[in-house]
Chain A
Amino acid sequence: MGLTHLTIHYPRFKLSSADLRAFYPSPALSTYSYIGKFGIDEDATTLAVNAFLDLVETVGEMPKRLYLSTGKDFNSAVFLDATGINSSDVVHVPIGEVGSLQTIWEASRNEGCAFLVVDSPRGKNEKVDAYCSAAAVTGFVGKGGVEISSFDTFESASYSTSRYGSQGFDPADESMLISTVKEHLVPNSINFINFSSLKQSSRMIPNLEIKGQKTNGFSGITSGLVSLFSWLHLDFNSDVQLSIYAIDENGGASLSLQPSEKPIVIINDRRKDISLPTYLMQKEHAGNESIPQGAFISTPVYFSQKGARYRLNTAKCKDCGFIHFPPRQICKNCGSQTVSGKPLKRYGKLYTFTKILKGAAPPEFDIQQALEGDYCVGLVEFEEGPKVISQLTDVEYEDLEVDMPMKMVFRKIYRQDETDRYGYKFTCV
């Protein structure tokens, strides 16, 4: 029994390194130019939904139970509605380095279960978000795969409670973690180690001199898990043992993995160039804006179609079987009544498209347009037949072509009445 399927959603902004250093004057950032992407249409909730939908699609079944480790900005109700998992099948664990490792450990003891760890920068704390990853990492436990052989906790009371001081970890904590790692070393192992000190480079750990051992540093648990699981995809080797060590205000912990069988890993690693002014503007807004004036689609009306907006639920004619999306009560084909149908699969092809240029967007999209630039809109024709109009995200107009394959992603649409409105957008496959 082990991890058989893994998905990683890992969107990043790429700033020029000069820009980044101007903003975060830390020598550690000389080799670093990526920052976790947050923004108008993505947050911890959308990352988690998209990663989980990809996992379920790859596995081919809904997990029996989901061990879910999330931060404060996670909207659990939206996650349940958008993924269709029963709330009684979800075990919530607060995010944290140690808690996340424990989540994975517990899931790994239960065949047919899954874990999901998600975190995203809030976009407000200047010192934190240079190191924070916006990432969702999720895995399914089945027969074979990567066995998790042990979970250990250590030095539970000794670590400083100030997880993020102005300079990251307390140096004493770091030394303690290094000694712990040294004590537990096994031959021919690869170790992923938690460092968040701004004095350290995130990738290289010069003061950890462990001869003959490969080490990979990471700053937050989600980026550590991204590195660990990316290794399973890119550098898989069944002769090595993998360990991940982490500390937080609750103590320290490690997880050991035995990669006997290569898992199926889906990595969604999107990178977007961004200028410093735009980045700072996005940071300021970070999708928290309420829209003062827009086409007033009332909150009850919006949420009455939640099933269609989140999960592509359809209506099916009870007589002729014609599938309608968006759902409607009377069949377009034969005039009979409809009943609820299966959700559409998330795939289709681009039927036609355009780009809405600056100054022309409906006012509820003004903020998105100011921050993220002009956006594309298209009609997507589903494999099952219906067409739908949708915003296209993470695409460039110049790259679009009629008939190209598209995939639905779950995104934030905008915020109105103090409520985030989520729904579908489409992106290129």
Chain B
Amino acid sequence: MRVAVVTAGQTKFGSFPGKGVKGLFVEALHEALSNVDKELKLSDVKEAFIGNLGVGGAQLGNPAALLVEQGGMPSVSARRVENACASSGFAFRDAYRAVKNGADLVLAGGVEIMNDLSSAHQRYWLGVSGDTEWERLAGATFAGIYALMAKRHMHEYGTPREALAMCAVKNHRNAVDNPVAQFRKAVSLDRVLNAPMVAPPLGLFDCCPTSDGASVVFLASEEKAKEITDSPVWILGSGASSDYLAIHDRQSITTLEATRRAAKEAFSLSGLTPEKIDIAEVHDCFTIAEILAIEDIGFYEKGKAANAVLDGETERNGTIPINMSGGLKAKGHPLGATGTGQIVELWKQLRNEAGKRQISDAKIGLAHNVGGSGATCAVHILGGEM
């Protein structure tokens, strides 16, 4: 039985601390509902999976029930899914499996508010998704952890700093044409390279912003999908995996094994290979993460992504356009909302509705969502009507 994404919507990502999680979630829900081609009745929704990391510690208990009742679905079976930055990637996977198991209409979404906190409070709860007891006690931050990976990647493969910077330049340029992106402004390579350092070799422009936002998608069985849309987007493959939280427990820190395994599962389920992918939204919380992602998914051999990026292969007109939305880097990264936010972008691209950033003839897309420094990863492959 095939599972379809029947509609999708998201808020703008950016700084909206005053909207609150309820406000943001309901806004994303309305956006998804207004994108419905035919008719979707909320009373038909059987299950809801909502990705969220922590809303700054303010609503740690029962947030999913709170959000769906605010959205007009007080009785739906709802739960929060928490896998750090991969929360809604996993919410999406759980929703997919729920449809497979007979729930014919399911909501997957995510929401996060990060800008309502003082800087110290923000830094407190941002660092809690690694192996806190060891990594945090070393004074490491997430930028620090990715910087350690970047430094090692440079050491092992000669990856130039410019390749990292080009990921940021490209993603900023892509976001210019994305009305929901946080930063819709191009930046020059020079500016990225000369930005203040956060954790060398990563500078300010190598890091994604702190963002507020929400995203909602609906999944339906093939039968149910017909009531809702004539142009569903099919889920061709789903893969997910975990890994050691602490990078010191991993054999290699230049590969995210969770990505490799999740991608392998998704490709195997879909019967596809990396060459068949037309467009991908990958988890670029830091520029090095985009390099790791496109290697570990299998678009490039290990150590070869840097040159491909420098040669423009991941640009809009390249062989494998990466992060047409602007990615986490420029579209924004409201942790819990990011995974299903990637699905929103693919849903639009695969339905030829992505406006100025539309990749022509995009038939198959891949979404790659990572939690923490690679402790969790969900990969999904989507395809339009063929």
Q: Are A and B subunits of one complex?
A: yes
Chain A residues with CB under 8 Å of B386's CB are none
Q: Which of the candidate stretches B59-67, B97-105, B132-140 sits at the interface with the other chain?
A: B132-140
Q: Is the C-beta of A397 less than 8 angstroms from some C-beta in chain B? A: yes
- Given A360-B143, A379-B253, A387-B248, are A354 and B200 also a contact pair (CB < 8 Å)? yes
Chain B interface size range: 35 or more
Q: Is the C-beta of B121 less than 8 angstroms from some C-beta in chain A? A: yes
The one of A352, A362, A379 in contact with B139, judged by C-beta atoms closer than 8 angstroms, is: A362
Q: Is the C-beta of A169 less than 8 angstroms from some C-beta in chain B? A: no
Query: By the criterion of a CB under 8 Å from any partner CB, how many residues of chain A are at the interface?
Result: 39
Chain B 243-261 interface mask (CB, 8 Å, partner A; 1/0):
0101111000100000000
A338-353 interface with B by 8 A CB criterion = 351-353
A144 to B352 Cα, complex, angstroms: 88
Q: Which of the candidate stretches B25-33, B40-48, B123-131, B273-281 sits at the interface with the other chain?
A: B123-131
Nearest Cβ on chain A to B201's Cβ, whole angstroms: 8
Q: Which of the candidate stretches A17-25, A224-232, A293-301 sits at the interface with the other chain?
A: A293-301
- Given A361-B123, A362-B127, A389-B247, are A397 and B200 also a contact pair (CB < 8 Å)? yes
Q: Is the C-beta of B199 less than 8 angstroms from some C-beta in chain A? A: yes
Nearest Cβ on chain B to A94's Cβ, whole angstroms: 33
The one of A356, A362, A375, A379 in contact with B248, judged by C-beta atoms closer than 8 angstroms, is: A379
A295 to B126 Cα, complex, angstroms: 9
Chain A residue at smallest Cβ distance from B122: A363
B138-186 interface with A by 8 A CB criterion = 138-141, 143-144, 147-149, 151-152, 155
Chain A residue at smallest Cβ distance from B249: A332
A356 to B134 Cα, complex, angstroms: 16
Q: Is the C-beta of A266 less than 8 angstroms from some C-beta in chain B? A: no
- Given A295-B128, A361-B141, A388-B248, are A326 and B134 also a contact pair (CB < 8 Å)? yes
Chain B 112-123 interface mask (CB, 8 Å, partner A; 1/0):
000000011101
Nearest Cβ on chain A to B274's Cβ, whole angstroms: 27
Complex contact A355–B135 (CB within 8 A): no
A295 to B120 Cα, complex, angstroms: 11
Chain A residues with CB under 8 Å of B152's CB are 351-352, 379, 402
Nearest Cβ on chain A to B289's Cβ, whole angstroms: 15
Complex contact B151–A377 (CB within 8 A): no
A386 to B249 Cα, complex, angstroms: 8
Complex contact A378–B148 (CB within 8 A): yes
Q: Is the C-beta of A164 less than 8 angstroms from some C-beta in chain B? A: no
A302 to B249 Cα, complex, angstroms: 19
Complex contact A362–B151 (CB within 8 A): no
Q: Is the C-beta of B354 less than 8 angstroms from some C-beta in chain A? A: no
A379 to B201 Cα, complex, angstroms: 15
Complex contact A362–B134 (CB within 8 A): no
Chain A residue at smallest Cβ distance from B123: A363
Complex contact B139–A354 (CB within 8 A): no
Chain A residues with CB under 8 Å of B202's CB are 354
Complex contact B141–A356 (CB within 8 A): yes
Nearest Cβ on chain B to A80's Cβ, whole angstroms: 22
Complex contact A360–B247 (CB within 8 A): no
A258 to B127 Cα, complex, angstroms: 58
Chain B residues with CB under 8 Å of A360's CB are 123, 141, 143-144, 198-199
Chain B residues with CB under 8 Å of A386's CB are 248
Complex contact B246–A389 (CB within 8 A): yes
A305 to B134 Cα, complex, angstroms: 10
Complex contact A352–B155 (CB within 8 A): yes
A332 to B250 Cα, complex, angstroms: 10
Chain A residues with CB under 8 Å of B200's CB are 354-355, 357, 397
Chain A residues with CB under 8 Å of B124's CB are 293-295, 362-363
Q: Is the C-beta of B196 less than 8 angstroms from some C-beta in chain A? A: yes
Complex contact B120–A355 (CB within 8 A): no
Nearest Cβ on chain A to B314's Cβ, whole angstroms: 25
A189-211 interface with B by 8 A CB criterion = none
Q: Give 8 CB contacts A-B under 8 Å.
A: A353-B151, A354-B202, A356-B144, A357-B200, A361-B139, A368-B139, A377-B148, A388-B248
Extra 13 A-B pairs, beta carbons < 8 Å, given A295-B132, A351-B152, A354-B148: A295-B124, A354-B151, A354-B202, A359-B119, A362-B140, A362-B141, A377-B139, A377-B140, A387-B248, A388-B134, A389-B248, A390-B138, A421-B137
- 9 shortest A-B CB distances, which residue pairs? A354-B147, A352-B152, A387-B248, A363-B120, A352-B151, A354-B199, A389-B138, A352-B148, A402-B155
Interface residues of B (CB under 8 A from A): 119-121, 123-124, 127-128, 132-141, 143-144, 147-149, 151-152, 155, 196-202, 244, 246-249, 253
